[in-house]
Amino acid sequence: MKFEQRVQVRILGAQRPYSYSWWFEPAAGVMPLQVGDRVELPPNQVQEEGSSGTVVAVGTSYKGELKSIVRKIEDAYEREDDLWAGFGEGDYV
């Protein structure tokens, strides 16, 4: 079963955090995000290739529709393969 988590993400150079959704499925090993997690964000009208940011809050007061986070960016010590693992994959390639 998938669950939606709503978080606020700080994007480098942005004046304020932006709200996004994260779909996770514990049974498949995809866990909820935590403050401090780095994430890959989908493209938008400003960043045509997408961008990345850091989760600064779990939950948001925004009630509208949200774009979904593409993936959590794993820390180097959590990866077993190379630095670019997962790059060029996913819905926005």
For 10-62, how does the pLDDT look when each residue is reduced to its tens digit (9 = 90+)? Answer: 998 889 999 999 999 999 999 999 999 999 999 987 778 888 999 999 999 99
Buried-exposed string 56-76: b where 16+ CB fall within 10 A, e elsewhere: eeeebeeeeebeebbbbbeee
Whole-prediction pTM:
0.78
